[in-house]
Structure 1
Amino acid sequence: MTHLAKYRFRTSVFLAGALLIMAAVAAQKPQQPALASRSVKILTQKGLTFKDLNKNGTLDRYEDWRLPVETRVKDLIGQMTLEEKVGFMLISTTRMGGDNAFQQNAPAAGRGPTEITSAFNEEDLVQPNNIFTRKPLPVPIMSAAGTTKAVTQFHLRHFILRANPSAQTIADWANNLQALCESSRLGIPAIVASNPRNHITIDAAVGLSVGTTAFSKWPGELGLAAMRDLKLTREFADIARQEWTAVGLRKGYMYMADLATEPRWQRIEGTFGEDADLASGMIRELILGFQGTQLGTNSVAMTTKHFPGGGPQENGLDSHFDWGKYAHYPGGMFEYHLKPFKAAIEAGTSAIMPYYSSPKGKEFEEVGFSYNQAIIQDLLRKQLGFKGIINSDTGPIEMMPWGVENLTIPQRYQKALAAGVDLFSGTADPTVLLATVQQGLVTEARINESVERLLSEKFKLGLFENPYVDARKAQQLVGNTQFQQKADLAQRKSIVLLRNSAKVLPLRPKTKVYFETYYDNGRSASPITVHKPTGFANALEFVSSKEEADVVLVWLIPSAGGLFASAGKPIDLSLSKNKIDVGHVNDLIKSKPTILAINFSSPWVLDELDSGQAKTILATFGTTSNALLDIVSGSYKPTGKLPFTIPVSQRAVVENKSDVPGGREPDGYALFKFGDGLSYDSVDR
C-alpha cells in the first residue's frame, strides 16, 4: 500500500469514527416533546422546557421527561399520599353532563347489573340505509361520582366514558377533565377508557359496546374475523387509534380474546369466533394497530379480556349473574382458550382483564378469576410472563364476588390484591380500599406495586407532557370520508355466502326486488320494514310487495334480548325463540325465489326454515344494507368465511361441550362449519 493509500485509509477510518461519535452524541441529545399546559408554569433548563406539575418552582424527577420511566415513577410515588395512591387504583364510569346515559337505580349486590333493553326500531334510525344505526340508549352504572368530586376528593385518575356524544363534545370534555387534574396537588393527568366505538352491533349494553357513534363504522368483531384479512384488520385498528387519540380516549377496554366455543353464551357478538388461531391473529393485529410496537404518545393502551377465556360458560350462562358464575372445561381444552391471550402478551397488550367466572372442575380454587391467585399470579404472571396491568372487570368486589360471597368487602380487596389485581373497576369511592390498608390487611408496599404499573402506562403515553387534544380537529378527523371508505370495504368483505344452490345470486340488472328487514324489538307495531333504496349502479328495481317482485330479499335480525336481559336459563338458539316469525319467513321463501340474509350475533339454529326452499343464504355480522345490496347485486363478490360453526339443531347445541369449538364437535353437529363461505365462482354443495 502506498503512502497516499495509507493516508486515505487512515483518514476514512478517522472520519468514520468521528461520525460514529457524532451519531452517539446526537442519539443522547434529548428531544424536546411538545408540552401543553392550562395552569401550571413551564420551567426552562438549558434551553429545554418542563411542566411544574407540583407547583414548587423546581424541576422534580417525575417532571423531567429526559429520565427513564422507572425513575419518574419512583419519584412520583414517593410524593403521593396513601389516599392518592388508593384513589389511583379505581376506574369508574364517568358522568358527562346532559348525556342522558345513566340509570340511577344501582343493581342489587351479588345479582349482577339491572336489566337493560338494547335494541333499535324505525324511530331510532339515524340513517335510513342502516338498520343497525340507532340513538344511544340508557345504561346502568355501578358506582360513579361527579367528575370534580372524583378528581379532587377521591383522587381518581382513571375513568370509563360510556356516553355517546359528538367527537368535539368528547374532546372538549376530555380537555376539561385534564385541566382539572393539572390543577391538583401533583398535577397527575387522567386516562379515559372506553368500550368499542367503531362497530355496528346489536347488543350495545353497558360494558359490551357503545354502539353506533360518530366514529367510523366497521363490521362487528365477528365480521372483522369473517373478512380473513389481517392487513385490513391492522388498518382498521390504526384508523380507530387516530380517531380515539383525537378526542382524548387513550385506553381501550377491548378486545375480547374469548373464544365462541359455547354457542349459547350471550357475548359471542364481541368475539372473533371459535378458532384460537384466527382469534390470535386478530388480537395481535388489533393491539399492534392501536398501541404500536410499544406504548407512545400516539397510542391507545389496550385491555385484552377476559382472562383466561370467558367462552366456556356452563350452559352458556354468563357470569355477570350468580346463576352463570361457573366456567367449565368438559372437553379438557383449557389450554386452547389461552392461545389468544398468549398472542396478546407477545404483542405487548398494556392490560389484561380477568372475567367474573369461577372455574369448575379444574385444579384451581373455585373463586372468581379476579380472586384466583393460581390464575393471575401463577399462570398469567409467572407462566405466561405478563408484566402489565391487571384490570378487574366491573364490579367483582361489590356485585359479582363469586366464591367469596362470605368475605367482607375489605377481605375481598385483600384477596383480590393478593391474587394480583392492580385496577378495580366499578366503584368511585376509595374509602373501603383505604380502610383495608389502614387496618393492615394490605401493605402500602403492595399498593405501590400496582400504582407503579398504572403510572408507567401514563408516562409512556406521554400524558404528563401533553394530555390535551384539538377539539376542532377531532371533529374533522373522526368518521371522515376516507376512513369510512375503508370501513365500507370491510363491511362488504365481512358478508358470507353460505348457500347459492339455485344460482340466484348475483342478481341481474333490472331485477325487481322486494327487500324486507325483520327485527322485532318488542316496541314497534310491526317488526317488518320494507326498503326501497335508490342510487345503485346495478339498477335493481325495488318494489313494495312480494307479488310485484322477481326475487324476495329478507334480512333477519334475531335477538336473544341482550346480555342483561338474561332470565337465568340457557337460551334457545332457534329462530322462533329469538323474535323471528318463522311462519312469515317460510311463506316468503315459498312465494318467490328468496335470498335469505341472517345477522348472526349468535350461531342461530336454522332448522325451522323450509330447508328445501331456502336455497340462497347469506350471513352478516353487523353491516349496512348498502353493503348487503352490493353483495346481492354482484357489485362486490362475497369473500367472507364463517368465524364459527352453525349447529344443525338445538339438540346439538344442548349436547355440545362448552370449551370445544364447533369445528371439533362430532360429525353431525354442524349445518355450516367454521371457515365455510362461497363466492359466485364457487361450486355450491
Structure 2
Amino acid sequence: MTTPLTTVIAPDGTVFRDLNGNGVLDPYEDPRLPVGARVEDLLGRMTLEDKAGLMFQTVIETGADGSLVEALGVISKSPTTLVVQGKRVNHFNVHKLPTPRLAARWHNALQVLAEHTPLGIPVTVSTDPRHAFHENSGVSFAAGHFSQWPDSLGLAAIGDVDLVREFADVARQEYAAVGIRAALHPCVDLATEPRWARQLGTFGEDTLLTSEFTAAYLDGFQGPGGLLGTGSVACTTKHFPGGGPQKDGEDAHFPYGREQVYPGGRFEEHLAPFRVAIAHRTAAMMPYYGMPVDLVVDGEPIEEVGFGYNRQIVTGLLREKLGYDGVVVTDWELVNDNLVASGQVLAARAWGAEHLDAPGRMAKILDAGCDQFGGEECPDLLIGLVRDGQVTEARLDESVRRLLRVKFELGLFDDPYVDEDAAEAVVGRADFVAAGLRAQSRAVTVLTNGMLTNGAILPLTPGSRVLAIGFSAAEAALLGTVVDDVSDADVAVVRLAGPFEPRDTMFLEAWFHAGSLEYSDEVVAQVRALAERVPVVLDVNLERPSILTPLVGLATAIVGSYGTSGPALADALTGVVAPHGRLPFQLPRSMDAVRASRPDVPSDTIDPVFPAGHGLTL
C-alpha cells in the first residue's frame, strides 16, 4: 500500500494536508476557509480529466482481508488503482463488506490511493441500505455486522418519528465508523401499487407519515435540519419525483416495467416527501428509471422518457420550481449496456431513449440537469463529448461544484481516515443491536387474535407446547415447550414468506418479488390441514400487501412482519415486547380488486380484508 501523505505545518502554524504535494498551503487545502472558496480554488486547478472522473459513481469491491481489489471481480469493471488513479473516479458504492475492522482497513487503503492522485481528492464511499433483512444487490443488503432493524415498512408500522430519528443516528454512527459517508437512501416513494416489488424499502402509502419520516431520517443521518458536518452521512433521497405508481406494479429496472402512470391524478401527493427532503437539505436526489406516461404537470405534457433523462422534471421541476441546488445522481446504468457475471448483456435502462447511442444518452442526461452518472465509470466518453463540442466544460463545472461541496462539508479533505479499533467497537454495538431487536418486535402487526376460539390466543401462554415451523431450534425454544408432532401441540406457530411469481430470465429479476399477491392452493391446503388439528398462529412476511382472504378463516391468529428475526418475533408473540404495528398499507381481498385499483392512489382496492392502519393491541 502506498504510504499516506503526512500533514504539513504552514509558516503561520496552520496544520494542513498537502494534497497536491507542492509544499504550499493552497486555498483548497486550508481548513479555515469557507467551503465555497475552497471549492472554487480546487475547481480552477482541475483538469478536464479530473472533472469528468468526479461525475461518476460506480460499484467497488472490497478484499476479504481489507485489501484493495486489483483483479476484475464479479461486480467491479476495473482494478481499483486504475479506476481511482487512472480514471480519477472518487465516488464508490460498496457492496459486500468484511468485518468492521477490515472494512475500515480497506477504506483507509482506498483513501491513501486517492491521496496520490495529482490533487489528492478524497474518495466518498456510499452504500444502499444495510441495516435490515432484505438482500438484493440491486436494492439493499442484510445487516451482517451492523445492527439489524426492521425494514422501512416496519418503521412505518410502528409510526414513531423519534424512533426513525434514533435509527438514522445509529446507522450514521455505524456507517461513519467504517468510512461510509454517503447513503443511497432514504427511499420515500409511496407504496400505492400493491404489486410493486420495492415497497419493503418505503415508509408505506401515506404521504404525510412519509414526509414526517423523511425529515427525521435526514436529521439523524446528516444532522439537525439536514445540515452536513464532519460526522454526517450525506443522504441521497429517492426516487424523484416518486417511484411508486408503476403500471401493473412492475418495476422499472426491467423493460416491461418502464411505464409510470398517474390515472388518479395524484402526482403532487407522491411529490410531497421530496419537498420535505429539499427543506431538510438532502445532499442528493436520485430520479427513478420510470418513464412517465400521459403525465401533465402545471398544464405541460411531460416528455415520455425516463426521469433521469427528463429536463422538465430535473431542471424544470426540481431545480427551477422547487429550488433544489444539491447533487442529482442518476439511478444505475442509464448510459451503457453491461456484461454481467452470468455472461448476459444487460441493456442500459434508457427508457424512452433507447434509440440514442451511449454518447447521446449521456448528453441528454446532462441536459436534463443531472450531475453524476450512477453505475458507470466511463469518463472518457464524457471527455469526448466536451472535446467534440457537444457539451461545454462550463456545464461540467456546474456539477463539479455541487459534488465537491459535499466532500468539503463532510470534512473529507481535512481527514478522511477512520480508526480500526473504533470501527470494531461501534459497528454492532450492544445497545444498537438491542434497540434494533426491540424495534423488530414492536413492528409486528397483530391482524387477528382468537378468531376461531372463545378468547385471544396471543400472547402465547407460558409453557405452551408449540409446534414451530419456519424457526430454528433455538428460536422455537423461545416460544414455549417445543414438540415435533402436531398431536402433542397446544398451538402451531408458522412463518410464511410473502407470495410472489418467481422470475429469473434477466439479471436481478429473481430478487424482485413481483406479480400475484395470492398464496398458492398448496400453501393454503397445508395451513388448512394443520388448522384442522391444532390452533394456528401465522406470521406473514408483508414485503408486499399479501392477500390473506383464504387464510383468515383458518388461522386462530395472524400477525404481519416486515423484517423480524426469530427471537424478535418470539418476544412479540410471548408478550416480552408488546407488538405495536399498524398496517402501512391495506391488504386487498382479491387480485381482481388489485387489478382494478389505480397505481397512484393509496388504499384504492375495493373492500380490503384489512384497511391501512389496522392492528390489534395485546
TM-score (norm. length: structure 1): 0.82
Taking a change above 3 Å as real, the CA distance of residues 81 and 43 of structure 1, as seen in their structure-2 partners, is: same
* 2:170 paired with 1:216: no
From 511, 514, 526, give the equivalent of 2:467: 514
Q: Aligned equivalents of 1:602 and 1:588: distance in 2?
A: 25
- Residues 62-107 of structure 1 show CA distances to partners (whole Å, capped at 9, x for unaligned) of 011111111111110110000110011001101223599xxxxx9x
Instruction: Return the offset for 1:44.
Output: 2.4
**Match of 2:459, as an amino acid?**
P
Question: 1:546: how far off?
Answer: 1.5
Aligned pairs (5 A) from 1:194-593: 194-201=127-134, 204-293=135-224, 294-362=227-295, 363-398=301-336, 399-500=348-449, 501=451, 502=453, 503-517=456-470, 531=473, 533=475, 536=478, 540-560=480-500, 561=502, 564-565=508-509, 571-576=515-520, 581-593=523-535
Aligned amino acid, residue 423 of structure 1 = Q
- 356-365 or 557-566, larger mean C-alpha shift: 557-566
Q: What per-residue deviation string (whole Å, max 9, x for no partner) do you get for residues 384-406 of structure 1?
A: 12111001000111211111111
Asked if residue 169 in structure 1 is aligned to residue 67 in structure 2, the reply is no
Question: CA-to-partner distance for each residue in 1:174-220, whole Å, 9 max, x for gaps?
Answer: 0000011112111110000001111122xx22231122310001111
Equivalent-residue separation in structure 1 for 2:531 and 2:156 (angstroms): 29
DSSP 3-state at the match of 1:413: helix
Please tell me the root mean square deviation across aligned C-alpha atoms, in Å.
2.1
User: 1:442 offset after TM fit, Å?
Assistant: 0.6
Aligned to 1:607: 549
Alpha-carbon separation, structure 2, partners of 1:144 and 1:644: 40
Any idea what SS the aligned residue of 1:302 has? Answer: strand
More moved, 216-225 vs 634-643: 634-643
Flag the 1:315–1:489 CA change in 2: closer, same or farther, 3 A: same
Report the alpha carbon displacement of residue 608 of structure 1 after superposing the two structures with TM.
3.1
Q: Deviations over 1:498-545 (max 9, x none)?
A: 11134111121111111111xxxxxxxxxxx66454774xx8212112
| Letter in structure 1 aligned against 2:517 | L
State the alpha-carbon separation in 2 of the partners of residues 421 and 152 from structure 1.
24
Change beyond 3 A, Cα 1:634–1:458: same
C-alpha distance after superposition, 1:467-489 (max 9, x if no partner): 00001220121001111111111
- Structure 1 residues 412 and 99, CA gap change in structure 2 (3 angstroms): farther
Conservation of the 8 A alpha-carbon contact between 1:532 and 1:544: no
Per the alignment, in what secondary structure is the counterpart of residue 290 of structure 1? helix
The answer to whether the 8 Å contact 2:174/2:427 transfers is yes
Alpha-carbon distance in structure 2 between the residues aligned to 1:632 and 1:401:
47
Report deviation, 1:672: 0.9
Change (3 A) 1:51 1:530: closer
- Amino acid across the alignment from 1:247: V
- Relative to structure 1, the CA distance from residue 570 to residue 187 in structure 2 (aligned partners, 3 Å threshold; closer, same or farther) is closer
Query: Quick one: distance in 2 between partners of 1:554 and 1:414?
Result: 53
User: Match for residue 679 of structure 1?
Assistant: 617
Whichever residue aligns with residue 167 of structure 2, its letter is F
Alpha-carbon contact 1:555-1:596 (below 8 Å) kept = yes
Question: Counterparts of 2:476 and 2:238 in 1: how far apart (Å)?
Answer: 42
Residues of 2 paired with 1:642 and 1:612: CA distance? 20
- The answer on whether the counterparts of 1:328 and 1:359 sit within 8 Å (CA) in structure 2 is yes
Distance of aligned partners of 1:533 and 1:73 in 2 relative to their CA distance in 1, 3 Å threshold: closer
Identical-pair percentage: 42
SS class of match (1:497):
strand
Letter in 1 for 2:461: R
Among 10, 29, 32, the residue aligned to 1:44:
10
1:360 and 1:569 map into 2 onto residues whose CA distance is: 24
Q: CA deviation at 1:40?
A: 4.2
Residue number in structure 1 paired with 2:22: 56
Q: Distance in 1 between matches of 2:34 and 2:370?
A: 25
Equivalent residue, structure 1, for 2:596: 655
- Paired amino acid for 1:395: E
In 2: Cα distance, 1:416 partner to 1:483 partner: 40
Following the alignment from structure 1 to structure 2, what is the Cα–Cα distance between the partners of residues 373 and 658? 24
State the number of aligned residues.
585
Contact residue 291 and residue 305 of structure 2 kept, 8 A:
yes
- Residue 210 of structure 1 aligns to a residue whose secondary structure is coil
Please state how far the C-alpha of 1:626 moved relative to its aligned partner. 1.2
| Per-residue CA distance 1:280-299 (angstroms, 9 max, x = gap) | 11111111100003100000
The DSSP-based 3-state class of the residue aligned with 1:96 is: coil
In structure 1, C-alpha distance between the alignment counterparts of 2:216 and 2:89, rounded to whole Å: 31
- Higher Cα Rg, which structure: 1
Contact 1:95 1:145 in 2 (8 A): no
Cα pair distance change 1:604/1:175, threshold 3 Å: same
Seen in structure 2, the aligned counterparts of structure 1 residues 150 and 530 have a Cα distance that, compared at 3 Å, is closer
Q: State the shift of 1:666 in Å.
A: 5.7
Residue of structure 2 equivalent to 1:96: 62
Structure 1 residues 581 and 530: alpha-carbon distance in aligned structure 2, compared to 1, 3 A threshold: farther
Distance in 2, Cα, partners of 1:386 & 1:212: 32
Following superposition, the deviation at residue 381 of structure 1 comes to: 0.9
Deviation of residue 166 (structure 1)? 1.1
Contact 1:514 1:545 (8 Å CA) reproduced? yes
| TM-score, normalization by structure 2 | 0.91
Aligned amino acid, residue 144 of structure 1: K
CA deviation vs aligned residue, 1:292-328 (integer Å, no higher than 9, x gap): 0310000000001111111100111111111111100
Residue 144 of structure 1: how far off its partner (Å): 2.4
- CA deviations over 1:545-604 (Å, ceiling 9, x no partner): 221100111111125348933699971111118xx7221122112221111110111111
Q: Where does the alignment leave 5 or more consecutive residues of structure 1 unmatched? A: 1-36, 101-105, 107-138, 518-528, 681-685
- Preserved contact between residue 197 and residue 512 of structure 2 (Cα < 8 Å): no
In 2, the alpha carbon distance for the partners of 1:628 and 1:534 equals 10
In 1: Cα distance, 2:36 partner to 2:369 partner: 20
> What amino acid does structure 1 have at the position aligned with 2:102?
T
* Aligned residue among 625, 643, 648 for 2:566: 625
C-alpha distance in 1, partners of 2:33/2:559?
A: 56
- Give the drift of 1:152: 0.9
Letter in 1 for 2:469: E
